[in-house]
Structure 1
Amino acid sequence: MVQKAGKMSRRKMREGLKAYAFMAPALVILILFTIIPIIGSLVLMFFDYSVLGQTKFVGFGNFIQAFHDREFIISMKNSIIFVVIVPVIQILSILLALLVNQKLPGINVFRTLFYIPVVTSMVAVSIMWGFIFDTHGIINTMLSDWGWIKQPLGFLNSKYAAMPCLMFITVWQGLGYYMMMYLAGLQGIPQELTEAAQIDGANILQTIFKIKIPLLKPYVWLCSLNSVISAIGVFDVVFVLTKGGPNNATTVINYYSYTKAFGDFQFGYAAAIGAIQGILTTMLSIIVFVYGKRGGMTNNE
């Protein structure tokens, strides 16, 4: 009996070692490029770090500087404004999921077309939309040919239009991802529930709002949480198209931190900005989490 237990123990140990061996490459990459930089930034944010000069301990000086920095305040406001797209993208995604959940000819092609932007690099997507929004792009050319405008519209050059354009691109790129999430939720709803409702006289809208939407609440909570985190962390579309302009109209926290680190070489200050961004993301995520719990966004409520 003891011998058998020993063999089982050695077998479990071998299986455990095999599992760790398979995980080792990913763990090494995670430690090198995620864990160590996070730990380093936690230390760096309390220093006035200089690559060439002297590094000084400044305590909370970087944080105090941030809240007296006009450009940082603007970047924080712009990041919060970006969160406005969260309910928009969730509503559109649910509507699309309801549409592609129908048994129609060619519906799989439709699903694929909406998912293609998700698997396309945001840099490539941004460059494509940059050509479309250009003063000599498709939109301006069509409006000019139709006689609707006399001068080209500067979509990305206007402080009023640039941010909505970037938000539109973000919605367009992420729509397919959340659509597939909600589609998975819809296909997990028992068909008997909708059939029973229809037998009781419920129409399509009543079925959607009384059965399908309530049962999608856990997915709404998860997708909203992911969308808030992505909105606060937006970077690539700003970097490619506007560089924070015009006149800081599209400067967001992530991009401002990048410019301070690799433009002005203020690495300690950039680390402090990153920490504030993390706190802001956590606060908004907690709000979404608490709202989700109160709204019964779990499978058990």
Structure 2
Amino acid sequence: MRSVMSNKWVITLYVLPALILILLLIYIPIVLTGYYGLMEWNGIGKMKFIGLANYIELVQDQKFWQSTWHSILLGLFSTASLFGYLLLSLILASKIKGANFLRKIYLIPMLLSSVAIGQLWAKIFDPTNGMINRLLVLLGFENPPLWLADADIVLFALFIPIVWQYAGFYIIIFYAALKNVPEELIEAAKIDGATPIQIALKIRIPLISDVIKVMIILAIVGSLKYFDLIFVLTGGGPNGASEVMASYMYKEAFSKYNFGYGSAIGFGLLIICLVMTWLIQRLLSSKEDVEY
């Protein structure tokens, strides 16, 4: 058996299907997207080669950079929300009463589709009959805000359902990491007189630092690519106030039938995601590994 598994041809045979899938589903589409960005094309007719014109236009496009800034803001807010997720995970991991029930509650948004979540929050944000504005009226606010129609607050209003949608995912990952911390270390710290806050800051969080770093990368890169809930709730409006890179790419390619420029936007989105991932890894890199 060992001789078979050490055979290079056998190893190649096992690895080849995965490599073919990765090539077909990831790398070839990336190359084609960059190639289509060199074309003037409506998605149906004949393509016309125009060189770097789409990419030059992309660099000069203020709407693209505005949507990029909105995506970065979403990434920063998502990263900040990780502290809340981590706090909830620490509470759940501390053997509080009803922890199992709470974990199931937090996972409910993950079971819903983005369209269903969008429709739900559209009703909540409704300026006339929405739950939030009705509550504000009861509290004495005469003119509650138009959450999804006010360009000054729409982006921040969208952060709320996005945080709610992904709470279960991040909480369950943090919770699983915290449960892998050896209980002997926790008990020893308690015997030495450590408080729950000291145990969290000095033992639990340092020992799951690698998981936290991965979650930060996922939160930022995922936010840069975010599309579905924003498209359902606002479509990027009003007047582009909630436009993100993915929604801007969709509009150019599938609404305006400018597939060449839409492909250039998609390729630009890829480059920005790669650069942001590299920067985050550099910022979070540490020479010292915490071991137990």
TM-score under structure 2 length normalisation: 0.89
Partner residue in 1 for 2:110: 118
Partner residue in 2 for 1:137: 130
Partner residue in 2 for 1:72: 64
Partner residue in 1 for 2:141: 149
Give the 3 Å change call, closer, same or farther, for CA 9–196 of structure 1 in structure 2.
Answer: closer
Asked if structure 1 preserves the Cα contact closer than 8 Å seen for 2:43 and 2:258, the reply is no
Q: Pick from 175, 180, 193: which aligns with 1:183?
A: 175
Q: Pick from 52, 57, 60: which aligns with 1:60?
A: 52
Separation in 2, partners of 1:295, 1:150: 56
Separation in 2, partners of 1:270, 1:124: 27
Separation in 1, partners of 2:281, 2:291: 16
**How many Å apart are 1:191 and its aligned residue?**
1.0
The size of the alignment, in residue pairs, is: 290
**How many Å apart are 1:225 and its aligned residue?**
0.8
Asked if structure 2 preserves the Cα contact closer than 8 Å seen for 1:92 and 1:175, the reply is no
Quick check: 1:253 aligned with 2:242?
Answer: no
Partner residue in 2 for 1:42: 34
Separation in 1, partners of 2:27, 2:178: 37
**How many Å apart are 1:32 and its aligned residue?**
5.7
**How many Å apart are 1:114 and its aligned residue?**
0.3
Separation in 2, partners of 1:139, 1:153: 10
Give the 3 Å change call, closer, same or farther, for CA 147–290 of structure 1 in structure 2.
Answer: closer
Separation in 2, partners of 1:32, 1:197: 52
Q: Determine helix, strand or coil for the equivalent of 1:245.
A: coil
Partner residue in 1 for 2:87: 95
**How many Å apart are 1:168 and its aligned residue?**
1.5
Give the 3 Å change call, closer, same or farther, for CA 278–18 of structure 1 in structure 2.
Answer: closer
Partner residue in 1 for 2:283: 291
Q: Determine helix, strand or coil for the equivalent of 1:67.
A: helix
Aligned ranges 1:256-295 → 2 under 5 Å:
256-294=248-286
Q: Pick from 191, 199, 217: which aligns with 1:199?
A: 191
State percent identity of aligned pairs.
Answer: 30
Separation in 2, partners of 1:52, 1:244: 26
**How many Å apart are 1:156 and its aligned residue?**
0.5
Task: Provide, for residues 210-260 of structure 1, a one-character-per-residue CA deviation record: whole Å limited to 9, x for no partner.
Answer: 111111201110111111111101101111011111121101100000000
Task: Provide, for residues 166-196 of structure 1, a one-character-per-residue CA deviation record: whole Å limited to 9, x for no partner.
Answer: 1121111111111111111111111111111
Partner residue in 2 for 1:215: 207
**How many Å apart are 1:56 and its aligned residue?**
2.2
Separation in 2, partners of 1:103, 1:246: 46
**How many Å apart are 1:53 and its aligned residue?**
5.3
Q: Determine helix, strand or coil for the equivalent of 1:155.
A: coil
Partner residue in 2 for 1:229: 221
Separation in 2, partners of 1:108, 1:138: 29
Give the 3 Å change call, closer, same or farther, for CA 45–17 of structure 1 in structure 2.
Answer: closer
Asked if structure 2 preserves the Cα contact closer than 8 Å seen for 1:79 and 1:253, the reply is yes
Separation in 1, partners of 2:287, 2:135: 46
Asked if structure 1 preserves the Cα contact closer than 8 Å seen for 2:110 and 2:168, the reply is yes
Separation in 2, partners of 1:141, 1:177: 30
Give the 3 Å change call, closer, same or farther, for CA 133–42 of structure 1 in structure 2.
Answer: same
**How many Å apart are 1:266 and its aligned residue?**
1.1
Separation in 2, partners of 1:212, 1:274: 40
Separation in 2, partners of 1:269, 1:17: 39
Q: Determine helix, strand or coil for the equivalent of 2:136.
A: helix
Instruction: Give the unaligned 5+ runs of structure 2.
Output: none
Give the 3 Å change call, closer, same or farther, for CA 9–67 of structure 1 in structure 2.
Answer: closer
Separation in 1, partners of 2:287, 2:4: 47
Return the index of the structure with the highest Cα Rg.
Answer: 1
Asked if structure 2 preserves the Cα contact closer than 8 Å seen for 1:123 and 1:236, the reply is yes
Give the 3 Å change call, closer, same or farther, for CA 33–18 of structure 1 in structure 2.
Answer: closer
Q: Determine helix, strand or coil for the equivalent of 2:211.
A: helix
Give the letter aligned to residue 171 of structure 2.
Answer: M
TM-score under structure 1 length normalisation: 0.86
**How many Å apart are 1:300 and its aligned residue?**
5.3
